[in-house]
Amino acid sequence: MSASLPPDLAAEAALDPDFAPAFVVEAPARLRTPFVFNAPHAGAVYPEGFLAAARLSGLSLRRSEDAHVDALFADVVGLGAPLMRARFPRAFLDVNREPYELDPRMFDGRLPGFANTRSMRVAGGLGTIPRVVADGHEIYARKLAVAEGLARIDTLYKPYHRALRRLVEATWRGFGVAVLIDCHSMPSTSLAREQVGLADVVLGDRYGTSCAGVVCDLVEEALRRRGLVVARNKPYAGGFITEHYGEPPARRHALQVEINRALYMDERTLEPRPGFARLAADLVGAFEEAMGPITAALCAAPRPQAAE
C-alpha cells in the first residue's frame, strides 16, 4: 500500500521571500507508511530585519529553537515517511499555536477583534508571535506594527498549516489512516520542575485524546527497548498541532515526541554531542519497529460509520 504526495506543496512554501522556502517537505516519491513526521520548531533561518529588531543576540534567540530535531528524525524518509520542517524560527513565528494568539502589549496599534489575547500562552509571552524566548527574556526592542504581525501569519503560518493538512489528508486517503508524529525537543531543566525524573523522551497524546492508545503504547515500548527512559504527558501533553490534527474517531492520529536536549547537544552552545548519531539511530529504529504493528492495528479497527 502506498500514497502520493500532493504535487505543489513547494508553492505554499515560497510565499515569504525572507525564507525561500519557509518550509521543506522531504519524502520518498511514494509514501509507504501512514506516518507523517513534522518538526515545526527546528527552523534556524533568522532574517536580518528580525535580528536588527531584537534586543537579544542570535544565540539567545535560538533558546526557543528545537535545534537539530529535524536531523535526529531525518532517516524516517528512508522508511517511506515524509518529514516536514520549518525553516523560520519559533522566536519569529510559532505554528504550534492558534493562528491569532497575540499579545496586545507587543503591538503598536489595535489587534483584530478575533485575536485571542487572553490565552495562557499569550500571558506567558509565547503566543503565535512570541514576546519572549524560552528562558523568559524579551525579544523586541520596540513594539511591532500590527500589519507586520498579520503578514507573518498570512505568509508563514497559514501556508504551513495548509501544506501540513494536505500532507496528512493525502496520507489518510492513501492508507485509510494517518499518524502525525510532531517532533520537538525539551530543555533538561524542564523535567525537574515536573518531578518526572530524568526522562529521555516525553510522549504527549493529550491524555489519550489525540491518538489511539496502541500508537503511544507501541512507540513507548520500542523506545524503552533501546534503553530510553520514557514519560507520558508531563510536562508536555501536546500543543495546538497534536490537539487539532489528532482525530482518532476519523482515523487521524497525532502524537507529540519531546526529546531531552541534554542527550544530543550542549544546551549552552547548541552544538551536537558525540552521542547524536546513536540517539538518531535509536529514535528512527524505534519508529521502524513500531510502524508496522501500529499500522496493522489501526487498519484493523472498525471504520467510522457515515451519517445517514
User: For position 3, what pLDDT does the model report?
Assistant: 64
User: For position 31, what pLDDT does the model report?
Assistant: 86
Helices 213-225 and 276-300 cross at an angle (nearest 10°) of 150
In a domain, 225, yes or no: yes
In a domain, 116, yes or no: no
User: For position 189, what pLDDT does the model report?
Assistant: 82
Number of domains in the chain: 1
Number of C-beta neighbours around residue 156 at 10 A: 25
Q: Are 88 and 158 in contact (CB under 8 A)?
A: no
In a domain, 204, yes or no: yes
User: For position 223, what pLDDT does the model report?
Assistant: 98
DSSP 23-35: EEEE--SEE-SSE
In a domain, 97, yes or no: no
Nearest-angstrom CA–CA distance, 138 and 293: 46
Helix, strand, or coil (residue 150): helix
In a domain, 113, yes or no: no
User: For position 134, what pLDDT does the model report?
Assistant: 83
Cα atoms in the Cβ-side hemisphere of radius 13 Å centred on 256: 30
Nearest-angstrom CA–CA distance, 304 and 297: 15
Q: Range of 288's domain?
A: 3-88+156-300
User: For position 136, what pLDDT does the model report?
Assistant: 87
| Phi, psi angles (nearest 5°) of residue 270 | 70, 15
Nearest-angstrom CA–CA distance, 235 and 120: 15
In a domain, 118, yes or no: no
> pTM for the complete prediction?
0.94
pLDDT tens for the chain, 308 residues: list them: 556 667 667 666 666 778 889 999 998 878 899 999 999 999 999 999 999 999 999 999 999 999 999 999 999 999 999 999 999 999 999 999 999 999 999 999 999 999 999 999 999 999 999 999 988 899 999 999 999 999 999 999 999 999 999 999 999 999 999 999 999 999 988 665 554 457 999 999 999 999 999 999 999 999 999 999 999 999 999 999 999 999 999 999 999 999 999 999 999 999 999 999 999 999 999 999 999 999 999 999 877 664 44
Angle at 285 between CA 75 and CA 250, to 5 degrees: 85
Alpha-helical runs (H) found in 108-212: 120-123, 146-152, 158-175, 189-194
Nearest-Å Rg of the Cα atoms of the chain is 19
CATH number at residue 183: 3.40.630.40
The grid coordinates listed for 13 are 512554501
In a domain, 131, yes or no: no
| Nearest Cα residue to 208 out of 249, 176, 177 | 249
In a domain, 219, yes or no: yes
> At 108, which helix (H) or strand (E)?
strand 107-108
- Bridge partner list, 119: none
CA distances from 8 to 24, 34, 173, 253 (A): 12, 20, 17, 24
End-to-end CA distance of the chain: 30
Over the range 233-249, which residues count as b (16 or more CB within 10 Å of their CB) and which as e? bebbbbbbbbbebbbbe
In 83-147, which ranges are E strands? 83-86, 107-108, 144-145
Cα atoms in the Cβ-side hemisphere of radius 13 Å centred on 57: 3
Nearest-angstrom CA–CA distance, 80 and 256: 20
